[in-house]
Structure 1
Amino acid sequence: MSDPEADGPDAIDAEVVEEPTSAVAPAPGSPALPEPDYTDAGVPTFDYVRDQIEKRYTTSAGATELAGLGTENDLASLDKKLEDRDQAARDKLAEIRRSMGKE
């Protein structure tokens, strides 16, 4: 093998380490356990399919709620809230200016 210093200052002396094999292997002669959500034939169970559908539905419902769709937060009410907030900010600024004697 070559001298590491001869390869350049950025060369790193290292060795390749093999990944260990899985320690959780079924014992020889014992049958492999089927996945809990599938039958022995590889068909998903009814409970598994129902859980997947419910999961997708709740994800969709949550995304819709977060987006503000399907709630009372329609565009008109959001515009009204924004206008009310801006008016409150203008009123507060005017109050501060009056208290400082600027008006």
Structure 2
Amino acid sequence: MSELSEIAAKLAALSDDELVAVLHAATAGRTAFWAVNSALGEMAAVHHAELVDDVSPATAPSPTHDSPGAGGVSGQVGSGFTVPVVPGQPTGMPGRPGIGGYSSAGVPTFESVRDKVEQRFGTAQGMGELDRQTPAGRSADEQWEAREKAARERLDRIRKSLHGNDTDNS
């Protein structure tokens, strides 16, 4: 328990920018904290928080990365300003429903899939009804009914012959 209180005391002694950088580095790669990490990333971009040396020693902070007159500018359009970080949702995480029937990760929502299936079913039903209204459709229905009637009559004769009732002369 004393280790936790020591860590809490050290975190409390940090400035806001340093605390944002430490928490951002601590939540990186943890799928359960993706929302916290995204929010901390936005805060770091807004406040230009520098990374603390003991948090990420392999990354050297660059104090001139946001300055518009930095040396080596290629003259491209928009090279003088930074684009804010757009947090992406890790794979395997449930997403918020998006606009247009897709989640923010690009996966179709259940409601949009259900609506598409219902629309296709309705279209297929309507096409069937329209087909039956044409002369060719009516002819096919009449042929089907004639075959069904002939099949029933043949089945009745077969049943009568199996029961010995075919000797009846009516």
Instruction: Tell which structure's C-alpha radius of gyration is larger.
Output: 2
Question: Greater RCO between the two (CA within 8 Å, min separation 6)?
Answer: 2
TM-score (norm 1): 0.37
